[in-house]
């Protein structure tokens, strides 16, 4: 049995529930209420997939100087809340705030969006 941190275990449960709800069209995600609306008025949820081959380190803020708060393996599907310009990572300054149960940020350089990109975060995030 593989040991997962509480954050990764929660992310795996949320991802699995999202996949199940997407296949069935009903379930916990539907019963929870309307999809979140990002700061700019777009309609979520906004999704992305981790493309970093070695996995993605999640941070407490939009830069590598922020504390690491978890990690996700290659191919994991995540939910975005919004985006900001933060530390430039290999030519890409965008960072996504993840909606995975606790504050976490992912460098856009290592995540590809699935569908529309999230809106900009409110000023309190910048």
The maximal CA–CA distance of the chain, rounded, in angstroms, is 43
What's the rounded mean pLDDT across residues 60-74?
Answer: 96
Domain 35-125 architecture: Roll (2.30)
pLDDT of 31 above 60: no
Q: How far is Cα 51 from Cα 33, in angstroms, rounded to an integer?
A: 30
What's the confidence (pLDDT) of residue 71? 95
What's the rounded mean pLDDT across residues 35-46?
Answer: 54
At 49, give phi and psi (nearest 5°). -125, 135
Bridge partners of residue 93, in order along the sequence: none
Mean pLDDT of the chain: 74
Helix, strand, coil percentages, rounded to 5, for the chain:
25, 35, 40
What's the rounded mean pLDDT across residues 4-18?
Answer: 46
What's the confidence (pLDDT) of residue 103? 83
pLDDT of 34 above 90: no
pLDDT level of residue 104 (50, 70, 90 thresholds): very high
* Tokens matching residue 38: 């990002």
The 3-state DSSP class for residue 78 equals strand
pLDDT level of residue 67 (50, 70, 90 thresholds): very high
Q: Where are the domains of the chain?
A: 35-125
Give the whole-number percent of the chain exceeding pLDDT 90. Answer: 56
What's the confidence (pLDDT) of residue 100? 67
What's the rounded mean pLDDT across residues 59-80?
Answer: 96
What's the rounded mean pLDDT across residues 37-50?
Answer: 68
């Amino acid at each position: 049995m593989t040991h997962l941190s509480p954050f990764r275990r929660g992310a795996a449960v949320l991802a699995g529930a999202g996949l199940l709800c997407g296949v069935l069209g009903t379930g916990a995600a539907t019963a929870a209420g309307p999809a979140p609306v990002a700061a700019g008025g777009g309609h979520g949820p906004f999704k992305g997939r981790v493309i970093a081959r070695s996995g993605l380190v999640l941070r407490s803020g939009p830069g590598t100087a922020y504390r690491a708060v978890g990690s996700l393996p290659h191919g994991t599907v995540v939910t975005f809340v919004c985006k900001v310009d933060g530390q430039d990572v290999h030519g890409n300054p965008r960072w996504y705030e993840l909606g995975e149960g606790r504050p976490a940020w992912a460098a856009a350089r290592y995540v590809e969006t699935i569908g529309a990109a999230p809106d900009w975060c409110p000023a309190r995030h910048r």
